Amino acid sequence: MVLWLKKISKCGSGKCCRSRQKKKEAEAVPQTENELWLEYYGPYLHIWPFHELCARLETNVSQGLTSEAAAKKLARNGKNVLPLPLKQDVSFWKFIKNCFSVLGIVILLSSIACFAIYYIFEINSTIQGQVDPEFLVAGIILLVLFFLAGIVLYLQEDNHEEMVVAFDELMPMYCTVVRDGEKEVILTQDVVVGDIVPLSYGQRLPADLRFFSCSGLELNNVALTGHSKPVQITSLANEGRQRYSRVEYIKDV
């Protein structure tokens, strides 16, 4: 399998500046022609002609990457990790920040405007107790909507964080790659673009992969798609009529 990834980095309190510094140092190193090509054509690697893709990724089907090339790619692109927050905010402050979203600010300003109009009518009314409370009611309703919008965004953010953590737990800690013509077991976070990843029965995928050689491969994507039945992968990388792998859902017998 030929692997392709994009740079994913962690950013949190105290470490964001260091990651930016490393990024500046990496940008100071001149990029090669293949690195510039990968940066531009990255979204199309799953359909790119297979042999040209291997050449661009500086890899070989049988030999894999060299240790030197893998080290350079790891230093430039960073670890193969999900962007998990290093420090969680206090729930109260997360809720307050979600309240003051663009939509929340508009609702809050509208509520304040309704209260202001009601107050102006109240102090300018010549007959006490005869002021129409519609602006006061509208202001209260908008204020309630302001907090409700914050609650909805807060719950959505919690769901997203839980989803990322769940995906991180699904990632295997170790995987096998082919480097310098030999199989080598490495940490999953050290997998780089262009690594050849042999897979066997029962293993989990360590990253985004393109299948180029397989036989009777069935893949369970329930964690990604929710489809409980496995899919059958047919490798067509070396066939002229198609340049990508065919995915077929296994039907009930």
| 225 occurs within a structural domain | no
164 with 186, same domain: the answer is: no
Better pLDDT: 97 or 237 = 97
Better pLDDT: 11 or 136 = 136
Residue 34 CA to residue 57 CA, distance in Å, equals 7
Start-end of H helices in the chain: 16-28, 33-41, 50-56, 67-77, 91-99, 102-124, 134-170, 222-225
Could you tell me which of 80, 91, 82, 89 has the C-alpha nearest to residue 164?
A: 82
| 238 occurs within a structural domain | no
pLDDT one-digit tens code per residue, 8-65: 434 444 444 444 555 555 455 577 788 888 888 888 888 788 888 888 888 888 889 9
| 68 occurs within a structural domain | yes
If you average pLDDT over residues 138-146, what whole number do you get?
Answer: 91
Does this model's pTM top 0.95? My answer is no
pLDDT class for 179, splitting at 50, 70, 90?
Answer: very high
| 53 occurs within a structural domain | yes
Is residue 10 within 8 A of residue 84, CB to CB? The reply is: yes
| 34 occurs within a structural domain | yes
For residue 238, pLDDT over 60 is answered with no
| 30 occurs within a structural domain | yes
Could you tell me which of 76, 75, 42 has the C-alpha nearest to residue 57?
A: 42
What domain count does the chain have?
A: 2
Domain, as residue range, for 111: 91-169
For residue 242, pLDDT over 50 is answered with no
pLDDT one-digit tens code per residue, 149-162: 888 888 877 666 66
Could you tell me which of 90, 85, 89, 88 has the C-alpha nearest to residue 12?
A: 85
Most confidently modeled of 89-93, 130-134, 197-201, 233-237? 197-201
List phi, psi (to 5°) of 84: -80, 140
75: its two tokens: 């230093």
CA atoms within 13 A on the CB side of 70: 22
| 7 occurs within a structural domain | yes
98 with 127, same domain: the answer is: yes
* Residue partners of 133: CB distance under 8 A and separation at least 6: 118
